[in-house]
């Protein structure tokens, strides 16, 4: 009985030590990861990205944060899902940096704000119009949300090998997906379009702000899954361009992986 009790106590203590050495939301170990990271909203997409590596293994899974570590063409890479929206995504970005990330590329989706940016195309975000509650809390008013120039250039160079058109420019990052009551804080899509904002999404500004604050390279490539000036976001929108979206997401994944491989000597 005493031995069994001692074993139970040792197991409990070991679990406490194990958890204490892990980051609280992602369950990652500080300083344990490769420096190059791909992030995406959907945990299932993280699995899809990991499957495109030469080898991979599940590193941690907690809440919406699913993390794989793998290798592609000799470069070690991490893949993590960050969920939907700036606040939750920002937690993933901060803990990834604590775990060792120094280059983070978001592979996501977006809604087009320009007639020339069509469903199935790619958008490489050079910067983001910051319209999130998260951003208002962590940086001063007017603070720019800008991607890293070198990593963005690497995405552009890798995208040139794809057959799908890729557009580079500013995106809009907002919090709400479904419409509420239009008010002074509701982004005006027509106005954003006139200002040559390419697309709307929900996490890039948080990524770029954190990159600037923590001295980490950040960038983003997005698959266009709709044209929001023509039809605003709703629950049926996801099936309208499913085939084009699937092809574009695959191209975005390949582009992001290649961009990180090309940056391995930097």
Active-site amino acid positions:
225
| Torsional sign, CA 195, 198, 204, 208 | negative
Cα-based distances in Å from 141 to 132, 137, 138, 144, 219: 12, 9, 10, 9, 22
Q: Evaluate whether 79 touches 42 at the Cβ level (below 8 Å).
A: no
List C-alpha distances in Å: 86 to 136, 204, 237: 11, 8, 21
CA 241 from chain centre, in angstroms, equals 21
Contacting residues for 24 by C-beta, under 8 A, at least 6 apart:
95
Please choose, from the candidates 122, 65, 66, 59, the residue with its C-alpha nearest in 3D space to the C-alpha of residue 259: 122
Phi-psi region of 221 (alpha: psi -120 to 50; beta: other; left: phi over 0): beta
Secondary element (H or E) of residue 52: none
């Amino acid at each position: 009985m005493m031995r069994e009790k001692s074993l139970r106590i040792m197991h409990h203590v070991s679990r406490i030590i194990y958890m204490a050495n892990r980051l609280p939301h992602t369950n990652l170990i500080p300083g344990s990861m490769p420096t190059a990271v791909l992030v995406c909203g959907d945990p299932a997409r993280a699995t899809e990205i990991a499957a495109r590596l030469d080898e991979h293994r599940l590193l941690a899974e907690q809440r919406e944060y699913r993390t794989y570590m793998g290798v592609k063409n000799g470069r070690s890479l991490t893949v993590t899902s960050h969920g939907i929206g700036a606040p939750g995504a920002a937690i993933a970005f901060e803990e990834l940096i604590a775990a060792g990330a120094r280059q983070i590329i978001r592979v996501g989706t977006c809604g087009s704000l320009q007639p020339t940016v069509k469903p199935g195309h790619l958008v490489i975000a050079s910067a983001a119009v910051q319209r999130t509650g998260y951003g208002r809390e962590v940086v001063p008013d007017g603070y720019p949300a800008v991607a890293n120039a070198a990593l963005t250039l690497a995405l552009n160079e890798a995208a040139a090998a794809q057959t799908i058109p890729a557009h580079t420019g500013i995106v809009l990052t907002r919090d709400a997906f479904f419409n509420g009551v239009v008010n002074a804080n509701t982004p005006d899509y027509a106005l954003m379009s006139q200002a040559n904002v390419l697309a709307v999404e929900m996490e890039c500004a948080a990524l770029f702000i954190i990159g600037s604050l923590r001295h980490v390279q950040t960038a983003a490539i997005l698959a266009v899954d709709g044209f929001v000036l023509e039809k605003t976001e709703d629950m049926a929108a996801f099936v309208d361009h499913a085939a084009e979206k699937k092809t574009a997401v695959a191209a975005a994944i390949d582009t992001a992986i290649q961009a990180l491989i090309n940056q391995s000597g930097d």
